[in-house]
Amino acid sequence: MKLILTCILLMGPASSAWAIEANYRCADGTTVNAVFSAPGHTGSVQLTISRQAKSVELPQALSADGGRYADGDMEFWIKGKAARLTRAGMAVDCTTK
């Protein structure tokens, strides 16, 4: 039992152990670097979007299919290798590089 607890402590926080990174290229030439936290009630994605000064963190939102991250201004919806980035009401399709 002590060995199991020691291994868990050495692995560090679950959120960093489960973070996944993916890079997307969008139809309009925009590139997006996405770092996904572990899914769950506190899931999120950190987006670094080309031609945008700072990165954005979006909380995980309800989705019937795929992974959806959204706040009032932006939405990033993924399914397989495809994604859709919506900003200011304008949507663009993206795929992983």
> DSSP string of 25-65?
EETTS-EEEEEE--SSTT-EEEEEETT-SS-EEEEEE--SS
pLDDT at 12: 40
Domains within the chain, CATH numbers bracketed = 2-96 (2.40.128.200)
Q: What per-residue confidence (pLDDT) applies to 97?
A: 79
- pLDDT value at position 6? 31
Residue type, 22: A
Q: What is the Cα–Cα distance from 26 to 10, expressed in whole angstroms?
A: 38
pLDDT on residue 9:
31
Task: Output the pLDDT for position 17.
Answer: 56
pLDDT by 10s per residue, the chain, length 97: 343 333 333 334 444 456 899 999 999 999 999 999 987 778 999 999 998 989 999 999 999 999 999 998 999 999 999 999 999 999 999 999 7
Task: Determine the pLDDT at residue 41.
Answer: 74
